[in-house]
Amino acid sequence: MTKVTLAKGLNAGLRKAMEDDPKVLVMGEDVGKLGGVFRITDGLQKDFGEDRVIDSPLAESGIIGTAVGMAMRGYRPVCEIQFDGFVYPAYDQIVSQVAKIHFRSKGRVKMPVVIRIPFGGGIGAVEHHSESPEAQFAHTPGLKVVACSNPVDGYWMIQQAIACDDPVIFLEPKRQYHADKADLDTSAEPQPLFTSRVVRAGSDLTLLAYGPMVKTCLASAEAAAGEGKSIEVVDLRTLSPLDLGPVYASVRKTGRAVVAHEAHVNLGMGAEVAARITEQCFYSLESPVLRVGGFDTPYPPSRIEEQWLPDLDRVLDAVDRSLAY
């Protein structure tokens, strides 16, 4: 058992995956000597060599496009996109190639490509460094999309994503990278990748989150408990496919749900989750599923990002509105 940060958990997970399977490659901008701007790939090039930890030219479409070719040759490339806002030059390769080749080939060609994206805000960065692009990928059939929220999940989920024969968009809450530590027991049995998890039990309302918002929502639930409200919190973990079985069960019990994410509310994950919960739990709902997230504006200058991002109070505000129905 060691105490690790999310950054260290991911780093250890990547290392393990590379040890376990010589076909696993890491590639991206500055992933080599520098170990990535967040140091997630720290030390890997030194130990696995330049052939397996590949510093790429500065071109995201090139990174993903060549990863497709390497995957066709039997490799399992793990691509790092330096920041969320820089995934878009690769968007075409991701949605028209990575996502479709298995389908196009009638299942003959597998695409075990992992695309790691540090996502979300709260680090005081400049434009394009704090985005939450998950809905766009979740809307794309052929991709799988997951988001980790803590060091232990980081360790296991990255290995599971690499082992998956489908392409996985792997979202890492960058502001958690070097934040809290957690106990990592590498001999434990990990929870399956494409499953959600109830991280706090409660009976009055179901609060759903993933990635960076899990911590916020747990804090909100804690605060609400102080006011006598019992909130169940679910870490969705997988965004495509969604694993809403536990959520339906929870909502059927609580009758109320709030979904929180940093991404824009309009057409964000919350829209889909709300629509599905309403379809599945219509007669159980005592209030509409409410959504709390980033406003429908571009990400603001960082001095006001903490106001723009949903925080403990904004989540509680939504909780209160839901309970007021």
Partner 1 sequence: MSESPLPVPAAPSRAGSGFGPDISEVFGPHAADGGPDLVQLLTPEGERVEHPDFSFGTDLSGDDEAAMIRGFYRDMTLTRRIDTEATALQRHGELGIWAQLLGQEAAQIGSGRALRRQDFAFPTYREHGVAWCRGIDPLQLLGLFRGVDHGDWDPEQAHFGLYTIVIGAQTLHATGYAMGLQRDGDVGTGDPDRDAAVVAYFGDGASSQGDVNEAFIFAASYNAPVVFFCQNNQWAISEPIERQSKIPLFHRALGFGFPGVRVDGNDVLATYAVAKAALQRARDGQGPTLVEAYTYRMGAHTTTDDPTRYRLSEELETWKLKDPIQRVKAYLTRNGLADQAFLEAVNIEAEELGQHLREGCHALPEPSPLDVFDRVYAEQTPELAEQRAGYADYLDSFDVPAETGSPR
Are residues 256 and 244 in contact, defined by beta-carbon separation less than 8 angstroms? no
* Nearer to its own copies among residue 14 and residue 274 (C-beta): 274
Between 171 and 290, whose beta carbon lies closer to its own copies?
290
Residue 211 CB contacts under 8 Å (≥ 6 apart), including other chains: 119, 120, 132, 134, 147, 148, 149, 171, 172, 173, 261, 262
Q: How many CA atoms lie within 13 A of 201 on its CB side?
A: 0
Rounded Cα distance between 114 and 318, Å, is: 34
Which of 240, 293, 305, 319 is in the footprint of its own copies by CB under 8 A? 240
Q: Does 29 bind ligand TPP (CB under 6 A)?
A: yes
Handedness of CA 153, 154, 157, 163 (dihedral sign): negative
Q: To the nearest whole angstrom, how small is the minimum distance from the Cβ of residue 35 to ligand TPP?
A: 14
Question: Are 288 and 258 contacting, i.e. CB atoms less than 8 angstroms apart?
Answer: no
Among 8, 116, 237, 264, binds its own copies (CB under 8 A): 264
Contact string 50-89 vs its own copies (x = CB under 8 A): -----------x-----------------------x--xx
Q: How many CA atoms lie within 13 A of 251 on its CB side?
A: 29
Q: Which 3-state string (H, E, C) describes 75-138?
A: CEEEEECCCHHHCHHHHHHHHHHHCCHHHHCCCCCCCCCEEEEEECCCCCCCCCCCCCCHHHHH
Query: 221: which 2 tokens?
Result: 């639930």
- Omega of the bond leading into 141 within 30 degrees of 0 (cis): no
Q: Which residues ranging from 50 to 69 are in contact with ligand TPP (CB under 6 A)?
A: 58, 60
Residue choice 5, 41, 56, 82 for contact with ligand TPP (CB under 6 A) = 82
Determine the interface stretch with ligand TPP among 81-89, 108-116, 252-260, 291-299 (rule: CB under 6 A).
81-89
Active-site residue, from 129, 139, 261, 264: 129
Site membership for its own copies, residue 136 (CB under 8 A): yes
Task: Judge contact between 292 and 208, C-beta under 8 A.
Answer: no
Give the SS3 label for residue 68.
helix
Instruction: Decide whether 99 or 209 has the Cβ nearer to its own copies.
Output: 99
Tell me: does residue 126 bind its own copies (CB under 8 A): no
**According to CB under 6 A, which residues from 87 to 146 bind ligand TPP?**
89
Alpha helices, DSSP H, located in 134-227: 134-138, 151-163, 213-226
> Residue 248 binds which entry of ligand TPP, partner 1, its own copies, none, with Cβ cut-offs from 5 to 8 Å by kind?
none
CB of 136 to partner 1, least distance (A): 16
Element containing residue 264 per DSSP (H, E): strand 257-264
Stretch that binds its own copies, among 23-31, 75-83, 281-289, 305-313 (CB under 8 A): 281-289
Whether 178 is catalytic: no
Q: Does 246 bind ligand TPP (CB under 6 A)?
A: no
Residue 43 CA to residue 311 CA, distance in Å, equals: 35
- Nearer to ligand TPP by C-beta: 82 or 240? 82
Q: Which residues are catalytic?
A: 129
Residues at the contact surface with ligand TPP, assessed by CB under 6 A: 29, 58, 60, 82, 86, 89
Residues at the contact surface with its own copies, assessed by CB under 8 A: 61, 85, 88-89, 91-92, 95-96, 99-100, 103-104, 127-128, 135-136, 138-139, 141-142, 240, 264, 266-272, 274-275, 278-279, 282, 287-291, 296-298, 325
